[in-house]
Structure 1
């Protein structure tokens, strides 16, 4: 068996009331794939370096969340929310007629996976979570309230700006400038070296200035409504996941998996031989992007164990088909030989 190819994919558009969800389905199209969900302000390009390291017998459907990448933006007047994002998972399942789902999520995508797995555990057969489990803890309620109020104001300002953008193109920059902006915005979790994997799906070419581009994602996603999951609720959610295969990979230099995860981790470990947790030394929040090989060391065995190849997925299947065709030829040859013998006797 080999690994997936980054060039072997089919572009997909999943219809939604507000437009469509854009995605790329890598590899095997004959079986239910792993559904891969990116993080906040990212897009499906975040998995570019990981995809070619995954086994080729199973497909991976990477999607752009609404407002991100090449997916449709929500209508004017609407607000992005983590609650609404969770509903994207069953929407994709319904589109393809899946009764089960395998999830791989980074950051926001990992939070969505945890929330969905706790809400509908009977429909989940495994989860791979990259440097996340829960939203960041609420340390200072006053600061959190101030932040929410500030984001509300900025969201309204962004709506006004978008109304004006019908008449004026957004500010544009060179790709070099956008690369630096992206790296700075991620606190260098996405380095300038790897920024290209995200930029190719979230910029549009300026119609006014040659060699300049502007961010095409919805500016309102910067002010989406996140949540704080208090410890008691987090514990109950973890209990509902029970014995589901669950892999968490943490970057050692990232603070997204911290003390708030200790009790859920303890619950998920208890009587669950399918729970795995690993830390990648030197990894930042985008650990799967800059340390893809290290992540694959844990992800590939996890996939092979919990989503093993079926007979129709094995590379041997092709040989079996050839053997079957050879058998048919032998039968035909014997038939013609017998017919020839009968004619000679006559």
Structure 2
């Protein structure tokens, strides 16, 4: 499928993206999950309606987007800021969101914060963040602080021409499969690798590569949305077109999201929830065709082709960005 490379300026650099398909109308904004990049949508995008484009972005520190400045760590709550950055850059009046995992959490949060600017949400295998027990949360926070210090030291040494660890592509594919618990299998790992590896400059390892993403993203600040807050957020979203897909083999959409889902669904004829049989957490990558079976009619219903000529949905790169 044809695409154009996009760079969206932000105060610390740029957000890298690919705009697939139609660029004459406002696209769907697709946001990937933690430690992934826009390549996670490679298999799904060609299956979506061709009359509307999809803008897939790499989050900061991921893929080919700029890393945050030294001394600034990655937090889930702060990443939500990327959505209004993109909206403002293109001057959209509305935004349609497609999010997987972290991207789905960001979409839920933004839809609650600015419901009047969101016209539909598609969430893949997530709603609220996974709950971590208090004792484990403290240990994880403590461990992450130590690892961030190590990562800061490693970055300083890298600035002095010490190269990061390098691997063969086969080793990298295996690393991704292990880290994802085979949610991204070795034969699918190349969809992520093409955005986040660089060839080693070490002449003794000419056939090796290193991960180019920011090592600090591995130790991001966890944001827990408790059920009470989640319920209030769902109430603010209201009767908005909202599609949630869950992989039956995934544990990421936990039972604690049930009450929030019931609020989104209550009296809302535009809410849909479907399970993808055998689907893993990366259900849109492993089971793209099955996901498209639900996503395509949802898009056709709430971003129909006949509405794409509406001036509000059209894009003018010359017009002034809307104020948020």
Alpha-carbon offset, residue 143 of structure 1: 1.3
Number of the residue aligned with 2:86: 92
Work out which structure has the larger RCO, using CA pairs closer than 8 Å and 6 or more positions apart in sequence.
Answer: 2
- For each residue in 1:131-174, what CA deviation from the matched residue of structure 2 results, as whole angstroms up to 9, or x when unmatched? 00010113x21111111110111011101101001221101111
SS of match in other structure, 1:233: helix
Number of the residue aligned with 1:222: 218
Partners of 2:229 and 2:307 in 1: CA distance: 41
Number of the residue aligned with 2:320: none
Partners of 1:214 and 1:145 in 2: CA distance: 31
Q: Which stretches of structure 1, 4 residues or longer, exceed 2 Å deviation after superposition?
A: 310-313
Does the Cα contact within 8 Å between 2:25 and 2:308 map onto a contact in 1?
A: no
Partners of 1:253 and 1:150 in 2: CA distance: 29
Number of the residue aligned with 1:48: 42
SS of match in other structure, 1:143: helix
Q: Does 1:12 align with 2:11?
A: no
Number of the residue aligned with 2:233: 237
Number of the residue aligned with 2:318: none
Is there any run of 5+ residues in structure 2 with no aligned partner, and where?
A: 310-324
Q: Does 1:141 align with 2:134?
A: yes
- For each residue in 1:177-219, what CA deviation from the matched residue of structure 2 results, as whole angstroms up to 9, or x when unmatched? 1000111011110000100000000000001121110000000
> What do you get for the CA RMSD once the two structures are aligned?
1.1
Residue from 264, 267, 280 that aligns with 1:271? 267
Number of the residue aligned with 2:113: 119
- For each residue in 1:66-88, what CA deviation from the matched residue of structure 2 results, as whole angstroms up to 9, or x when unmatched? 00000000111110011110000
Q: Does 1:284 align with 2:277?
A: no
User: How many matched pairs?
Assistant: 307
Number of the residue aligned with 1:158: 151
TM-score, normalized by length of structure 2? 0.93
Alpha-carbon offset, residue 99 of structure 1: 1.3
Computing the radius of gyration over CA atoms, which structure comes out larger, 1 or 2?
A: 1
Does the C-alpha gap of structure 1 residues 36 and 251 become closer, same or farther in structure 2, counting only changes over 3 Å? same
SS of match in other structure, 1:168: coil
Alpha-carbon offset, residue 312 of structure 1: 6.3
Number of the residue aligned with 2:312: none
Partners of 2:17 and 2:244 in 1: CA distance: 24
Q: Does 1:109 align with 2:103?
A: yes
Number of the residue aligned with 1:253: 249
Partners of 2:225 and 2:72 in 1: CA distance: 23
Q: How does 1:187-198 map to 2 (within 5 A)?
A: 187-198=181-192
Does the C-alpha gap of structure 1 residues 86 and 213 become closer, same or farther in structure 2, counting only changes over 3 Å? same
TM-score, normalized by length of structure 1? 0.87
Partners of 2:261 and 2:165 in 1: CA distance: 44
Partners of 1:107 and 1:53 in 2: CA distance: 20
Is there any run of 5+ residues in structure 1 with no aligned partner, and where?
A: 314-346
- For each residue in 1:88-124, what CA deviation from the matched residue of structure 2 results, as whole angstroms up to 9, or x when unmatched? 0000000000110000000000000000001100000
- For each residue in 1:297-316, what CA deviation from the matched residue of structure 2 results, as whole angstroms up to 9, or x when unmatched? 00000000000013766xxx
Partners of 2:146 and 2:191 in 1: CA distance: 31
SS of match in other structure, 1:310: helix
Alpha-carbon offset, residue 226 of structure 1: 1.7
Number of the residue aligned with 1:332: none
Does the Cα contact within 8 Å between 2:42 and 2:285 map onto a contact in 1?
A: yes
